[in-house]
């Protein structure tokens, strides 16, 4: 078992610094935030929120790799579960709003009551 | 050149490209498809970080379940391309500028981090790190209560989604 792992894992050390992953996650987060700020379609805004959640996940996993600690993986797992709940509720709200107003553009949604 | 570096560069570039497509595509269905590919490339990055289990979960839950939900809603609402881009309001300009500011601040902060390669996991770590067994051990010992709370949250979300989306109960 151990010999097999050694054979699979050549002695070369990991080359990519963790800060590259963190920079990529920051860029991804900012792209998601830009989409949330600029887009008008509520569905696309939700997709951009998913992008931001994924950037947070990438950060968790990068730090988990840096410290060799599995808690980061567990946090990413929880983030995925919460994102699933968020997507279900959010899309249900989008459907309900579309039923009552006939639009999913956020600028058309100005009142709480109809 | 190291194969890990090449793979990281390719996955990072493709992730950013598909994320850009998500933001700038005119039609929501194109955004959703670009988001699926973003999730796949991110799963590749997770594998490079030795997080195999999370990579599999990413593909199954995100690219599978959540994206099916998105596509289902897009098709249910029959959304076409947005006819106009909409005029840039003050809020959108300020929001975009604030995002760029955040990117600059984060870039400056992260560039001060040590840029050496991460510590090697060792033979023992490479055999166990990121596997389902290791993750399960942490979840079911240290994080049991949050795990149960998440299961309750998913149940509440399921019931809530049905109640909210149903026209008449």
Number of domains in chain B: 2
Query: Do B6 and B74 belong together in one domain?
Result: yes
Tell me, yes or no, whether B42 lies in a domain. yes
H or E, element range at A69? none
Query: Do B14 and B73 belong together in one domain?
Result: yes
Q: Which ipTM score applies to this complex?
A: 0.90
Domain locations along chain A: 40-114
| CB atoms B129 and A39 under 8 Å | no
Chain B residue numbers touching A57 (CB-CB < 8 A): 42, 46, 54, 58
The residue range of the domain holding B55 is: 1-82
Nearest alpha-carbon partner for B4 in A9, A61, A66, A68: A9
Tell me, yes or no, whether B6 lies in a domain. yes
Q: What is the CATH number of domain A40-114?
A: 1.10.287.3510
| CB atoms B92 and A93 under 8 Å | no
Query: Do B78 and B154 belong together in one domain?
Result: no
The tens place of each residue's pLDDT in chain A, 114 residues long, gives 444 444 454 445 667 888 899 999 999 999 999 999 988 889 999 999 999 999 999 999 999 998 888 999 999 999 999 999 999 999 999 999 888 888 888 888 877 765
Tell me, yes or no, whether B98 lies in a domain. no
Helix A71-101 / helix B144-165 crossing angle, nearest 10 deg: 10
The CATH number given to whatever domain includes residue B34 is: 1.20.120.1200
How distant, in Å, are the alpha carbons of B45, B47, B92, B110, B156 from that of A24?
Answer: 10, 15, 24, 10, 34
| CB atoms A70 and B102 under 8 Å | no
């Amino acid at each position: 078992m151990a010999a097999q792992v050694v054979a699979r894992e050549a002695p070369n050390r990991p080359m990519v610094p963790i800060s590259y992953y963190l920079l990529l996650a920051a860029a991804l987060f900012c792209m998601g935030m830009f989409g949330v700020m600029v887009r008008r379609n509520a569905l696309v805004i939700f997709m951009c929120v998913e992008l931001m959640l994924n950037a947070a996940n990438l950060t968790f996993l990068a730090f988990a790799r840096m410290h060799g600690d599995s808690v980061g993986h567990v946090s990413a797992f929880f983030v995925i579960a919460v994102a699933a709940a968020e997507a279900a509720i959010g899309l249900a709200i989008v459907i309900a709003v579309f039923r009552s107003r006939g639009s999913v553009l956020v600028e058309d949604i100005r009142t709480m009551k109809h | 050149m190291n194969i890990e570096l090449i793979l990281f560069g390719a996955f990072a570039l493709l992730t950013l490209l598909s994320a850009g497509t998500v933001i700038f595509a005119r039609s929501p269905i194109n955004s959703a498809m670009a988001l699926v590919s973003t999730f796949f490339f991110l799963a590749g990055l997770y594998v490079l970080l030795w997080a195999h289990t999370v990579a599999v979960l990413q593909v199954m839950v995100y690219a599978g379940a959540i994206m099916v939900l998105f596509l289902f809603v897009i098709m249910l609402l029959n959304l076409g391309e947005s006819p106009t881009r909409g005029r840039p309001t003050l809020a959108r300009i300020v929001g975009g500028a604030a995002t760029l500011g955040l990117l600059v601040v984060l870039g400056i902060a992260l560039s001060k981090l040590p840029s050496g390669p991460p510590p090697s996991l060792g033979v023992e770590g490479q055999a166990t790190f990121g596997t389902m067994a290791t993750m399960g051990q942490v979840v079911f010992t240290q994080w049991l209560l949050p795990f149960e709370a998440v299961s309750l949250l998913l149940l509440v979300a399921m019931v809530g989604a049905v109640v909210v989306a149903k026209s008449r109960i």
